[in-house]
């Protein structure tokens, strides 16, 4: 049931939706593509986008800061996926903090009753907002501004960064994933303020880079110490409530062979004969497929919202010349693991060793497993208060709340696992994310902003702004 105050805010969002749409168009027109792993951000669009975000936050009274990440300085630990060699220059983070009225009043009381703090306390304020009591709970609104590459632009109906509106949809890379969500949440806060309301609890907004590659933008925020009673990310979810997501690890299996002339009879390998690395690699692929099939039904590899863990051979390369036995074959693989399970590499390594012992050549010349960082999965309990808050907001807007999981990870992994902050996502439809002609329905953009406004007001609490 909506209160009169809530209805007033929702009406403002409806009446001023043109401003929301215009703001999203501005964000889309900045081309903020996630750089390749061995590249860095090119051009000034990333900084320009973040300056625009900072201007919006400054205009709403947030205390803002903007900085660039040095990946080599990020503290690593299992599951975080730190890539210290990653060049994060040119892709700044913007964070805004808006102290709640409950905390402001408390601070005023402290100022009048106590002597001023020491100089060093003034010079070095804590990065983390204090977690508030129930009268003013604190919240983080988090979003990423990097987008996946647009691909062949000739396949797009409209230029991917034109933010063209047609038939009630805005087309463009990032409209759904996830600048639409970012625009909706910032506009929700603006309309709450325009309704003459102040939040009782502290509100933090984080707009971070590199979610599509490493998630190190939000990781940097977590390591910087920002915290809250809960967090919300408007990732695309088909307006469901995202409560679980997989972790992952990607790697390579290098299978040795022995080169030799393919048109000449070869002696047995123990006598110096050639060995076909591709034939041996086929056995490794079969091992991966067998493990995937085992995981599909193993009780300890199941998850209510995500389904079973799985492993996939996603690429293979071997051989250099038609008339030469291939001396090496490389298999690329990915393993997707639901929470709370950990890194599966040791199980994969053990199965590889078993296979090698069953083949005399591989026993003497075992395949080599290498892998990148492991990213932990994450989940929140269904009875978490923030989950109920999201469900109630959707219900009161006539949207049946539905819990769901996601087969890929989001920045929520760090908020949940590292910062221990219960985090949910609610966002637009996923139909065209990462695809040609990505779009967001404008009606859904408005509905999302209303959902976020209700969530923020109910979680943080609101008070009528003092006059004068």
State pLDDT tens for residues 324-381.
999 999 999 999 999 999 999 999 999 999 999 999 999 999 999 999 999 999 999 9
Place of tokens 């709370």: 340
Helices 4-15 and 17-28 cross at an angle (nearest 10°) of 60
pLDDT at 104: 53
What's the pLDDT score for residue 115? 36
Q: Between 3.30.70.360, 3.40.80.10, 2.30.42.10, 1.20.1070.10, what CATH number should domain 247-371 receive?
A: 3.30.70.360
pLDDT by 10-residue block (mean), the chain, 468 residues: 96 98 98 97 97 98 98 97 97 98 53 35 36 70 98 98 98 98 98 98 98 98 98 98 97 98 96 98 98 97 96 96 97 97 96 98 98 97 98 98 96 98 98 98 98 98 81
For residues 19 and 61, give the distance between their C-alpha atoms in angstroms, rounded to a whole number. Answer: 19
Q: Give per-residue pLDDT as tens, 282-324.
A: 999 999 999 999 999 999 999 999 999 999 999 999 999 999 9
pLDDT at position 466, please?
Answer: 73
Q: Which of 68, 69, 67, 71 is nearest to 85 (CA)?
A: 71
For position 102, what pLDDT does the model report? Answer: 74
Distance CA 55, CA 94 (A): 10
Beta carbons within 8 Å of 244's beta carbon, 6+ residues apart: 303, 304, 305, 306, 338, 339, 377, 378, 379, 380, 404, 405, 406
Query: Hey, where are the domains in the chain?
Result: 4-245+377-464, 247-371
Residue among 453, 466, 448 nearest 198 (CA): 466
pLDDT for 468 equals: 52
Q: Distance between alpha carbon 257 and the CA centroid of its chain, in Å? A: 40
Q: Quick check: 234 and 396 in contact, CB under 8 A?
A: no
In this prediction, residue 133 carries a pLDDT of: 39
**Burial track 288-298 (b if 16+ CB lie within 10 A, e otherwise):** beebbeebeee
Class of domain 4-245+377-464 (CATH, top level): alpha beta
């Amino acid at each position: 049931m909506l209160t009169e105050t809530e209805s007033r805010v929702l009406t403002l969002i409806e009446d001023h939706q043109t401003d929301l749409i215009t703001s999203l168009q501005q964000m889309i027109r900045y081309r903020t593509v996630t750089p390749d792993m061995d590249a860095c951000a090119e051009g000034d669009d990333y900084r320009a986008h973040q300056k625009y975000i900072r201007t919006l936050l400054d205009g709403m009274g947030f205390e803002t800061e903007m900085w660039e990440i040095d990946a080599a300085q990020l503290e690593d630990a299992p599951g975080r996926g730190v890539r210290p060699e990653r060049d994060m220059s040119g892709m700044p983070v913007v964070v805004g903090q808006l102290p709640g009225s409950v905390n402001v009043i408390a601070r005023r009381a402290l100022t009048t009753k106590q002597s001023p703090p020491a100089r060093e306390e003034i010079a070095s304020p804590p990065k983390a907002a204090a977690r508030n009591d129930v009268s003013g709970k604190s919240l983080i609104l988090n979003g990423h501004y990097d987008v996946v590459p647009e691909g062949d632009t000739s396949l797009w109906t409209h230029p991917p960064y034109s933010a063209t509106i047609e038939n009630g949809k805005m087309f463009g890379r990032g409209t759904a994933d996830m600048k639409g969500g970012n625009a909706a949440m910032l506009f929700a806060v603006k309309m709450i303020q325009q309704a003459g309301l102040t939040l009782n609890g502290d509100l933090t907004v984080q707009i971070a880079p590199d979610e599509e590659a490493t998630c190190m933008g939000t990781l940097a925020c977590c390591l910087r110490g920002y915290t809250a009673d809960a967090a919300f990310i408007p990732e695309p979810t088909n307006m469901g409530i995202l409560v679980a997501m997989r972790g992952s690890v990607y790697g390579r299996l290098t299978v040795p062979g022995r080169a030799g002339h393919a048109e000449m009879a070869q002696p047995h390998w123990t006598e110096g004969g050639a060995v076909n690395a591709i034939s041996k690699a086929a056995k490794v692929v079969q091992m991966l497929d067998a493990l995937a099939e085992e995981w599909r039904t193993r009780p300890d590899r199941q998850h209510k919202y995500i389904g079973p863990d799985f492993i996939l051979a996603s690429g293979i390369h071997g051989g250099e010349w038609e008339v030469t036995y291939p001396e090496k074959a490389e298999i690329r693989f990915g393993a997707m693991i639901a929470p709370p399970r950990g890194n599966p590499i040791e199980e994969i390594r053990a199965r590889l060793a078993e296979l090698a012992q069953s083949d005399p050549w591989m026993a003497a010349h075992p395949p080599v497993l290498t892998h990148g960082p492991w990213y932990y999965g994450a989940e929140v309990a269904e009875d978490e208060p923030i989950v109920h808050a999201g469900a109630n907001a959707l219900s009161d807007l006539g949207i049946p709340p539905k819990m769901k999981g996601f087969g890929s990870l989001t920045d929520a992994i760090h908020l949940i696992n590292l910062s221990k902050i219960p985090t949910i996502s609610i966002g637009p439809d996923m139909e065209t994310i990462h695809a040609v002609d990505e779009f967001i329905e404008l009606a859904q953009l408005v509905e999302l902003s209303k959902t976020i406004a209700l969530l923020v007001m109910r979680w943080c609490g609101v008070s009528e702004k003092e006059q004068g």
